[in-house]
Amino acid sequence: MVCHYIINYAERVNETTKGNLIVTKFDSDSSWKNGSVLKLKSQFDQFANENKLFLIFEDEVSKLLRERGGVNDQDKEDVVLEFQSFLDGAYLNKGNYLIIATTNKYTDLPAAIRRRFEVKSWKVQRIQTRNRICTN
C-alpha cells in the first residue's frame, strides 16, 4: 500500500519538477570493513551536494538501524551513528530530500532514531484485507 502511494507521489513530483526527482533507498550493503558506513556517507554527501530532489524510501528500516546492545557488530553501530549524524544536520540540508521508512518492528529502532521520525501506524488485522489494500 505504501509503495503505491510513494510511486504516485513520485510521478506527480517528477512532472512538476521536470524530471528532477530521484527515488532511491539507503545503500549500506558491503562486505568490506567499514564499507557500509562509507557507502552511507557517500550517499549522504550526494543528497547534500546535488541539485536534485531525493525521495528516499527504506522498507524495513529496522534491519538497517537496529537498537544497539544485540549482536556486537561495530559496522552496524557505525551505520546507526552516521544516520543519526545525518538527521542531526552533520550534512548540508538544502531541504531537497524526504525520507519515508517502513518497519514492522518500530521498537527495534534506537530511541534516538525513533524521536526523529514522525510516526504513522497502519494496523491491518486480516490477511484478506491486507491483500485487498496491496492490490488496489
Q: Structural domains in the chain?
A: 2-135 (3.40.50.300)
For the cut 50, the answer to whether the pLDDT of residue 85 exceeds it is yes
Distance (Å, rounded) from C-alpha 124 to C-alpha 9? Answer: 23
So what's the pLDDT on residue 128? Answer: 53
Comparing CA positions, the residue from 57, 62, 54 lying closest to residue 108 is 62
Comparing CA positions, the residue from 113, 96, 116, 99 lying closest to residue 47 is 96
User: What mean pLDDT do residues 7-18 have?
Assistant: 77
DSSP helix/strand/coil, 24: strand
The residue type of 120 is K
So what's the pLDDT on residue 21? Answer: 81
Contact 52, 20 (CB under 8 A): yes
So what's the pLDDT on residue 136? Answer: 41
So what's the pLDDT on residue 31? Answer: 66
User: What mean pLDDT do residues 73-85 have?
Assistant: 82
* 95-136 confidence digits (pLDDT tens): 788 888 888 878 888 888 888 877 777 665 655 554 444 444
Buried/exposed 51-90: b ≥16 CB within 10 Å, e otherwise: eebbbbbbeebbebbbbeeeeeeeebbbbbebbeebbeee
So what's the pLDDT on residue 67? Answer: 57
pTM tops 0.75, yes or no: no
Beta bridge partners of 24: 56
So what's the pLDDT on residue 135? Answer: 42
Angle between helices 35-49 and 74-87 (to 10 degrees): 20
Distance (Å, rounded) from C-alpha 90 to C-alpha 84? Answer: 9
* 15-60 confidence digits (pLDDT tens): 887 778 888 888 777 667 777 888 889 999 998 888 888 888 888 8
**DSSP E strands, 21-113:** 21-24, 53-58, 97-101
